Amino acid sequence: MSEFVFAAKAEAVKEGEILTVEVGEHTIGLTRLNGQVCAFRDICTHDDGPLAEGAIEGEEIVCPRHGARFHLRTGKATFPAPAPLPIYEAIEQNGEVRVRVEGS
């Protein structure tokens, strides 16, 4: 199992906003929902578009290209996305956001 690695300073991850970061070979979106950090793969499973350009509505992110929605805590997808969104485990530690990404 991979270890938690630095993704961003905790103060840079804001409620309702999306911060895009590179962790190893992965592009990850970071946001806060009710104060808790959420980390997700920044690529729509419907057409490989960048989700960080979309909007957060409630606990979902909406793809800007075709409106696919993904739950930010579970990755559950709705039409037209054929597969769930990869969600990464994230923690806050010593003022940093750290994520666990396989292969990092």
Q: What is the pLDDT of residue 2?
A: 81
User: Residue 78's domain spans which residues?
Assistant: 4-100
d(CA 28, CA 9): 14
Place 1 in a pLDDT band, splitting at 50, 70 and 90: low
Peptide bond into 82 cis (omega under 30): no
20 forms beta bridges with 29
User: What phi and psi, each to the nearest 5 degrees, are found at residue 72?
Assistant: -75, -15
pTM: 0.93
CA-wise closest residue to 19 among 4, 37, 36, 35? 37
74: domain CATH number?
2.102.10.10
The whole-number average pLDDT for the span 71-90 is 94
What does the mean pLDDT of the chain come to?
94
The whole-number average pLDDT for the span 35-51 is 95
Reading across the β-sheet that carries 60-62, which strands appear in turn?
55-57, 60-62, 69-71
pLDDT at 5 over 50: yes
pLDDT at 104 over 60: no
Q: How many domains does the chain have?
A: 1
